[in-house]
Amino acid sequence: MILEHIQARTHHARRGTLKNAFSYGVDYVLTDLGGTTPPWISHNRFNLWSLWDHRHGGPQGKGRGVAWFKDVLESRGFQTDGAQLLLLTQPSFLWFHFNPVSFWIALADGTPRVFVAEVNSTFGQRHCYVCAHEDFRPIQRGDTLTAEKLMHVSPFQQVAGQYRFNFAMNESEIDIRISFENGDHGVLATLSGKRLPATGASLIGAALRRPLGAVRVLALIHWQAAILYLKRAPFLKKQPAPARLMSDSQNLRGADK
């Protein structure tokens, strides 16, 4: 199994008339979901940290793991033979799971060709944004892939505008930027960190350094929501879920499938 521990940093900055920004550490793993795992983390089995197929790759709670990602790629004409298919995600901690966004990544010749941003909301909704160039050429740091925003993620942002994705990945680090833009308003979110082997010691260290995993993530989300509410940011009630699970970036042929 490929299993790396990304001790990452995420930064969010709201722009517009009402500004707010925060930054905090977060633990992700990068994995191909195959083979054996080191101590303290398991695949489809309970542990301190766990990776569950049913939580990824398809509707929430009905995922098929990497098999789903392979089908997504092949239905768009990407040749998966010889490709490396990876998932970048926050694993479940004990019984708790919530991950605002995971990323499916397809590598060919060691370079990223397709990213799928698997976005989850606190409203229990999910939408997947498939990002790639039309010819599946390598995605470079300076490339911007755009997609229409289709899911209600934050009660303080409308379901309108677009996302601008920038992905950078090499043998030593990952750097992802997602900019939501809706006129003069929007949010910039980043995720960056070094790629290091996941070990029993690093996973225990993560549990001690940032305890409770998903519970901590949810607490931080609600804390920032409380700050925005106190600043009197316009509040939007839960909106209907998207009509479809996936949409394609404007750089990928067959958008809106």
How confident is the model at residue 257, as a pLDDT?
38
User: Is residue 36 assigned to a domain?
Assistant: yes
User: Is residue 181 assigned to a domain?
Assistant: yes
Among 73, 133, 63, 131, which Cα is nearest to 99's?
63
pLDDT at 65 over 90: yes
pLDDT at 182 over 80: yes
Q: In what order do the strands lie in the sheet with 41-43?
A: 41-43, 49-51, 92-93
User: Is residue 254 assigned to a domain?
Assistant: no
In the block, residue with structure tokens 């940093």: 9
User: Is residue 192 assigned to a domain?
Assistant: yes
How confident is the model at residue 253, as a pLDDT?
53
How confident is the model at residue 205, as a pLDDT?
93
Average pLDDT, the chain: 91
Average pLDDT over residues 38-49: 94
User: Is residue 66 assigned to a domain?
Assistant: yes
CA quadruple 55, 236, 247, 142: dihedral sign: negative
pLDDT at 216 over 50: yes
Split into its structural domains, the chain has a count of: 1
Residue 107 φ/ψ, nearest 5 degrees: -110, 140
What token pair was written down for 215?
């519970």
Average pLDDT over residues 226-247: 86
User: Is residue 253 assigned to a domain?
Assistant: no
User: Is residue 96 assigned to a domain?
Assistant: yes
Higher pLDDT: 68 or 1? It is 68
User: Is residue 224 assigned to a domain?
Assistant: yes
pLDDT at 143 over 90: yes
- Under 8 Å between Cβ of 117 and 103: yes
pLDDT at 256 over 70: no
Structural domain span for residue 126: 3-248
